[in-house]
Structure formats: structure tokens, C-alpha cells
Amino acid sequence: MAEINLKRVDEIIEGYKGEEGVLIQLLLDIQNEFNWISPEAIARISEQMRIPKSQIYRIASFYKAMSLKPVGRHIIHVCMGTACQVRGAPKILDRIEENLKIKEGETTSDMRFSLKRVNCLGCCAMGPVILVDGTYHGKITSAMVESILGQYE
């Protein structure tokens, strides 16, 4: 969901108060909980942890695992690790981009899918692999893309 429950944000912040060097860990928790980090959440952290907003934005934009934009109902991770690359991952990514009419890093306008690329999901034996909301689809071909995406509403 795109909505961020600020109460929950406060709870997460509470767990880190008074500790040093925890900003990355805190942001990761928020990311994991809501799949993105909203401006409101950042304002909250800045206020309560007494960290300048600019510093939070710098961290959140540096790390791949953090997203400053809301995400769709389903997140597609296309593995572009080397093993998947040599087994044809670029063709899969192309096909998904063409099918959803978005580019990697974007979300469809109906908020159905967000598309991300990742480096090695750790199951290279199944490559090329895509991960949709926690389900791995391995050894796929471009021709299978449409029916896989069709499984997600």
C-alpha cells in the first residue's frame, strides 16, 4: 500500500532512539514495512532523531534498497546478475517493459506493477529469474512473460 501509517513509523523510530549510526537500519525497517519511504516519514525521522532532512535524502537516494517513490501492488524484480545476463535476462526485461509500457524503476499508472532490476537473487541455477512479490519464476523465456504477469491482478 502506498499509504504510510505514521504511528507505525513512530514505533520504528522509538526502537532506535538514543543510538548512534542507526539511520540506515531505521530507513531499511521503514522501507521493508511500507516498500517505500515517504516525505512524511522522512519529516518524522528528521524531527525525532534530530537528523537534517538533507542527510536522510542523501542516504535514501544512495542505496538501492530504498525507494523514495510509492510502489505498485506488485513488485517485479528482474535479476540482471551476470549468470542471468548470459542466459538472456535482457530479453526478459525488454519484454516486461514492452508489455507493461514502463521502464525499469517505474510503476504502472494503475499502480498494478512496479518494475525493478536486481543483481543476483542467489538462485543462478534457475536463471533467468524474476521475483514477483516473493515468488520466484525461474528458467523463463520472453514468451512466458505475459502469462506470468497475468497471474497478478
- Residues within the interface to ligand FES (CB under 6 A): 79, 81-84, 120-124, 127, 129
DSSP state of 144: G
Identified binder of other proteins from the candidate list 41, 76, 100, 121, rule CB under 8 A: 121
Residue 69 CB: number of other CB atoms within 10 A? 12
Q: Decide which of ligand FES, other proteins, none touches 91; Cβ closer than 5 to 8 Å per partner kind.
A: other proteins
Q: What SS3 class is residue 79?
A: strand
- Which of the ranges 2-10, 33-41, 100-108, 142-150 carries the binding residues for other proteins, by CB under 8 A? 142-150
Cβ proximity of 116 and 104 under 8 Å: yes
Interaction pattern, residues 68-87, with other proteins; x per rule: CB under 8 A: ------------xxxxxxxx
